[in-house]
Amino acid sequence: MRHLIFAASIALIASPALAQQGGDAKNGEKHFKSDGCYQCHGYAGQGATQTGPRISRTALTFDQFLNQLRHPASAMAPYEEPIMPTATAADIYAYLKAMPEPPDPKSLQLLFVTKSK
């Protein structure tokens, strides 16, 4: 019984973090577009040298990701609390994490090879 209470209290303490990990990717996709992330990071989160780095399948932890939104390193605008609730950030994070891997370049067919004379 004591173990059960212990386990239950751990679950309660851990639940906000767990909720953030299990964000709603569908809602995240909506916000990725409506909140302008795509403008600098691309629709596939692929990034571009002039505007922002690749963020698809980000290697950042959720805390690092949230910290980036609240206190960007340099050129990115900050996304503060009322504008970007933590729950919405978690949804965007889930969306980025669920983005598909690009195909292996070796699997891509060449269009055609021209013969030089």
HSE at residue 42, side-chain half, CA atoms within 13 A, is 14
In this chain, which of 13, 77, 108, 110 binds ligand HEC, going by CB under 6 A? 77
Q: Which residues of 17-27 are buried (b: 16+ CB within 10 A; e: fewer)?
A: eeebeebbbeb
CB-facing half-sphere around the CA of 4: CA atoms within 13 A: 1
- Interaction between residue 75 and ligand HEC (CB under 6 A): yes
CA distances from 45 to 16, 84, 101, 104, 108 (A): 26, 18, 11, 18, 21
- The verdict on 90 binding ligand HEC (CB under 6 A) reads no
| CA-to-CA separations, 101 to 23, 24, 32, 51, 56, in angstroms, rounded | 20, 19, 18, 21, 9
Q: How far is the CB of 8 from ligand HEC (least distance, A)?
A: 34
Smaller CB separation from ligand HEC, 34 or 114:
34
Q: Mark 3-42 with x for binding to ligand HEC (rule: CB under 6 A) and - for no binding.
A: --------------------------------xxx-xxx-
> Which of these segments, 1-9, 14-22, 55-63, 109-117, binds ligand HEC (CB under 6 A)?
55-63
Q: Is 98 in the site for ligand HEC (CB under 6 A)?
A: no
* Residues at the contact surface with ligand HEC, assessed by CB under 6 A: 35-37, 39-41, 51-53, 55, 58, 60, 65, 68, 72-77, 79, 92
